[in-house]
Amino acid sequence: MRTHYCGQVTESLIDQTVQVAGWVHRRRDHGGVIFIDLRDREGLVQVVVNPDAAENFAKAEKLRAECVLSITGKVIPRTEATVNPNMTTGKIEIVAEQLDVLSMAEPIPFQLDEKNVGEETRLKYRYIDLRREQMQNNLKLRYAVTRSMRRYLDDNGFMDMETPILTKSTPEGARDYLVPSRTHPNKFFALPQSPQLFKQLLMMSGFDRYYQITRCFRDEDLRADRQPEFTQLDIETSFMSEEQVMNTMEGLAKTIFKDAIGYEFEDDFPRMTYAEAIEKYGIDRPDLRIDMQLVDVADLLQDIEFKVFAGPAKDPKGRVVALRVPGAGSMSRKEIDEYTKFVGIYGAKGLAYIKVNDMAAGIDGLQSPIIKFFPDQVMQIMERVGAQDGDIVFFGADSSKVVNDAIGALRVKLGEDLGMLNGRFKPVWVVDFPMFEEDEETARMVAIHHPFTQPKATTEEILNHDAPHQMLSRAYDLVINGLEVGGGSVRIHDTKMQAAVFKLLGIADEEAQDKFGFLLDALKYGCPPHAGMAFGLDRLIMILGDIPSIRDVIAFPKTQSAACPLTEAPGMVDNAQLQELLLRFRKPVRAADK
């Protein structure tokens, strides 16, 4: 039905007969001559239907937007006055010789160039929404990224291998999606949160370089950059150190950016420890486009009478920091109040500040209601943060978690609001993560990444460590512009070390055998040292295309309530299906009945 895509008909085809097919983007009647902008995935081409071709003209008069046509005609140059320099096809048009209507279209629920279409409507009519140029470009970018990934990994000796979608529930991370088994009554499969254990088994099987672009599933609360089902590039290697893995993966990232959007990184990606990231930026995925840093000032404020600062300054679990915002001293009280509300989202009880009017004047050149509480220390603080005339300095004083969360987020918001982003893409490897942290609700130790990550310790040190939360892991994350785009680690390949980690996590031998017996058994039969990484494909494409919503890089996403307006999933099933699975409906438990 076509010899060329619409967007590929250029002046090189003048005087040739071509056949194109696509959707009516726009129809215009100009004094008896009908112009049709015909659209396909490669762009638009203008078609001219003259009244002397009576049959074609009669068909064209009945057309509306989104009808599907096949048109055969001769390519001719446009007149100089009608050339459109903004289109690849802007110097030509096609004079229709044959016009076939392949499908008529009813009036569509929204126009493709309409700006303020609700997301629920867009998702309900996703097949129309995907026709828009921006959405077409997003999914083309997605294809370009996956194509680049495959080429790089194929060229570097990696093998594309599949792992199961129906697997066993091992609820150590997020909540699993469960699938009841008809053939095994009262038993369930789980959809994989990642192929982690299977890719480790592949290493034990001798396939030393594996990759897979795979779907993963997590039944968790959603955010703008999170979906219940998502895609990741999953990678595992044998006989490679973390340095070698990171260097190979950095090469992959650089190749993707160059192939997909033509961007080249000039330097190697910097490395930063987890401890440094938390100290300077309050978060383990710092946005290095923003130069501002958190500065600890607790040591200067421990002996003052102002308990708001002195309390956290003396508390081993507290923190007091200052954040200098260059040139923002003219900020109004209303703006400061808005930022105070913002940090309140993260648990901060307030937002103290000092405006720097004249550093040369000493304390008299500072403006703030809190200066009176620590007059002897204030100039030391200003010197430590490098304050200059015209700055404002914000303070955070609370538990370390609240300060890190609140002031770390404030740093990013101020950077965005005040136009302080420096550079287009700023990558960083974050390394030396803690191996464990304490769960505040259960008081149990939990693995920060997963329990198969290798600690920077021997088995004996793991068993005898009196402060496991201080133990580091051989884990690494790749962060770009404040978003984690990939993470990985060296894995445990020794049965005794794996058992020691399970013991520290409070997982008894019987429970470990029940949940992970197949892995523990495999470790006994010769397991190579191995390490790997996974890239979040959806999030990576958001960064590459500067796309604010993860739903705009996925063809058929879910809403924030994990529903699909297009198919109305999840939906009810009939009793016959449930009976086959030995299941029945239950009424939701009301809060009052608990």
**Binding-site residue set for ATP:** 218-220, 227, 484, 536-539
With tokens 């013991």, the residue in question is: 503
* Binding residue ranges: 172, 218-220, 227, 449, 484, 491, 536-539
Listed residue (57, 61, 59) closest to 27, CA to CA: 61
Query: 212 forms bridges with which residues in the sheet?
Result: 234
Other C-beta atoms lying within 10 Å of the C-beta of residue 117: 16
- Distance, CA of 39 to CA of 66 (rounded, Å): 9
Burial classification of residue 15, based on how many CB atoms lie within 10 Å of its CB (0-12 exposed, 13-18 middle, 19 or more buried): exposed
Strands annotated E in 389-544? 392-399, 427-431, 436-438, 445-447, 475-480, 483-490, 530-536
Burial classification of residue 253, based on how many CB atoms lie within 10 Å of its CB (0-12 exposed, 13-18 middle, 19 or more buried): buried
Joined together, the tokens standing for residue 59 give: 């068909």
Residue type, 307: K
With tokens 């076509």, the residue in question is: 2
Residue 34 contacts by C-beta under 8 Å, 6 or more apart in sequence?
Answer: 27, 28, 48, 49, 57, 60, 61
- Distance, CA of 499 to CA of 542 (rounded, Å): 39
- Would you give the DSSP letter of residue 221? -
Joined together, the tokens standing for residue 177 give: 């999606």
* Binding residue ranges for L-aspartate: 172, 218, 449, 491
Joined together, the tokens standing for residue 529 give: 């040292």
- Between strands 445-447 and 392-399, the pairing is unpaired
Strands annotated E in 239-350? 271-273, 294-296, 318-325
Joined together, the tokens standing for residue 400 give: 């370390």
Helix axis angle for 133-155 and 242-261, nearest 10°, is: 140
Burial 538-567 (b: 16+ CB within 10 A, else e): bbbbbbbbebeebbbbbeebbeeebbbbbe
Residue type, 131: R
